[in-house]
């Protein structure tokens, strides 16, 4: 009975952490959608949301990242470090969404493995509250940087329009 309660607790924590990681990835994806739609149509109006709903939300996460990169390159903004953090969050989110869970009784935890886990044993992912907190901090850092870039772009265009 004691082992069963312990297993239930581990499973509850695992599911909670997985949900948090999926949420973190979704939040970051939403931030990219906001950036892209407001890059093309600013100030925000009905067309901004139309663009987001009709086109941008239909793109997968990877395409949104690539579009964000192209916009930043066009604007002369170096985002190499930001993209590393975004890709790390995306990668872990994808593992949570697509990998199989298995119980590791030696560590009393649940890990995510590829289906070919014998071949890729080193590619296990242990889902912990520490990992969630690390990703949450990265997401918040990315969010600040994404919105800062958008603010700078609009500020630059604001200066351009003032000169005309």
- 62-72 pLDDT, tens digit per residue, is 999 999 999 99
Is residue 107 within 8 Å of 77, Cβ to Cβ? no
Question: If you write DSSP's letter for every residue of 21-34 in order, what string do you get?
Answer: HHHHHHHHHHHHHH
Residue 37: its pLDDT value, please?
97
Residue 106: its pLDDT value, please?
82
What one-character DSSP code corresponds to residue 113? Answer: E
Q: Is pLDDT larger for residue 54 or for residue 7?
A: 54
Domain residue limits, the chain: 2-163
Smallest CA-to-CA distance from 25 within 89, 103, 120 is with: 89
Which H or E element spans position 161? helix 129-163
Q: Does residue 59 carry a pLDDT above 60?
A: yes
Residue 164: its pLDDT value, please?
36
| Strand ordering across the sheet containing 100-104 | 100-104, 109-113, 125-126
Rounded Cα distance, 136 and 152, in Å: 24
Smallest CA-to-CA distance from 132 within 29, 20, 23, 30 is with: 20
What one-character DSSP code corresponds to residue 38? Answer: H
């Amino acid at each position: 009975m004691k082992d069963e309660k312990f297993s239930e607790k581990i499973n509850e924590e695992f599911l909670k952490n997985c949900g948090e990681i999926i949420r973190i990835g979704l939040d970051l994806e939403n931030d990219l959608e906001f950036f892209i739609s407001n890059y093309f149509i600013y100030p925000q109006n009905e067309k901004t949301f139309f663009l987001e709903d009709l086109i941008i939300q239909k793109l997968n996460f990877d395409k949104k990242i690539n579009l964000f990169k192209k916009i930043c390159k066009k604007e002369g903004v170096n985002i190499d470090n930001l993209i590393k953090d975004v890709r790390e969050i995306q990668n872990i989110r994808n593992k949570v969404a697509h990998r199989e869970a298995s119980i590791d009784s030696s560590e009393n935890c649940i890990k995510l493995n590829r289906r070919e886990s014998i071949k890729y044993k080193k590619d296990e992912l242990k889902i912990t509250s520490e990992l969630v907190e690390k990703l949450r901090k990265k997401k918040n850092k990315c969010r600040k940087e994404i919105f800062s870039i958008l603010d700078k772009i609009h500020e630059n265009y604001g200066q351009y329009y003032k000169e005309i």
